[in-house]
Amino acid sequence: MTLTIPINAIELTPGSTVSIRNLSWADFETLLIELGEKRNTRIAYYRGTLEIMSPLAIHERPHRIISDIVKAILDIHERNWEDFGSTTLKRPEIAGVEPDTCLYIQNADRVQGCTDLDLDDYPPPDLAIEADVTSVTAVSAYQAMRVPEIWVYRNHKLKIYLLEGDRYVESSTSPTFPDLSLIDLIPRLVQQAIAQGTSQMLRELRTQFR
């Protein structure tokens, strides 16, 4: 007898991950529908392996603050951007991933008017932001999507990964912001936002940059 457990019956404690192997793309699409969009979990799928991750509450706020910082700096420099949040990125039959946050910057103008992000029609996001260590499955999914830049914030530190060929390489600088020392700036601003409030931090940031 085969026991079937509905996916929405699986309860994950914060900080935990469950892996499901030998899952077809059709099954993955069905699971996405069953899970729904109003949930606290993140998913990553790559060539038959699905990971469902339940982030710790402490990890949720930093990526939102970092996204606010990025958009504020872009606005100061009058650069366009589009924030697609945790939109599920898909490369059919191969990979799917939900970043904590993703943004279009260099390709912002190309996704104006987009309401259904199909990577066959649009380029991948220019930047994905994760507030914890990215799993092997998620990294493989990002590689399949050809996302050029990933930021991972963990333990009050920022690491920048750039896609070179078929793999990600850690970098001390971001080509999106080549004149800024982000690995120093971002952690300091995140802690300032937590201590003083995000709006206050952003006001001071705008004053400083101007």
For residue 165, give the CATH number of its domain. Answer: 3.90.1570
The span from the CA of 162 to the CA of 180, in Å, is 16
| Residue 10 resides in a domain | no
pTM of the shown model: 0.89
pLDDT of the residue at 64: 93
| Residue 142 resides in a domain | yes
Residue 169 has pLDDT above 90, yes or no: yes
| Report for 55-59, 97-101, 200-204: range of highest mean pLDDT | 200-204
Q: How confident is the model at residue 37 (pLDDT cuts 50, 70, 90)?
A: confident
Reduced to 3 states (helix: H, G, I; strand: E, B; else coil), residue 167 is strand
Q: What is the domain range of residue 111?
A: 57-209
Residue 132: DSSP 8-state: S
| Residue 152 resides in a domain | yes
| Residue 47 resides in a domain | no
- Phi, psi dihedral angles at 136 (to 5 degrees): -60, -40
Q: How confident is the model at residue 200 (pLDDT cuts 50, 70, 90)?
A: very high
| Residue 1 resides in a domain | no
Residue 196 has pLDDT above 70, yes or no: yes
Q: For residues 180 and 174, is the Cβ–Cβ distance under 8 A?
A: yes
Structural domains in the chain (count): 1
Helices of type H across the chain: 25-35, 57-76, 136-145, 182-196, 198-209
| Residue 16 resides in a domain | no
| Residue 52 resides in a domain | no
pLDDT of the residue at 91: 93
Beta bridge partners of 169: 162
| Residue 72 resides in a domain | yes
The span from the CA of 151 to the CA of 131, in Å, is 8
Which tokens belong to 13? 């404690």
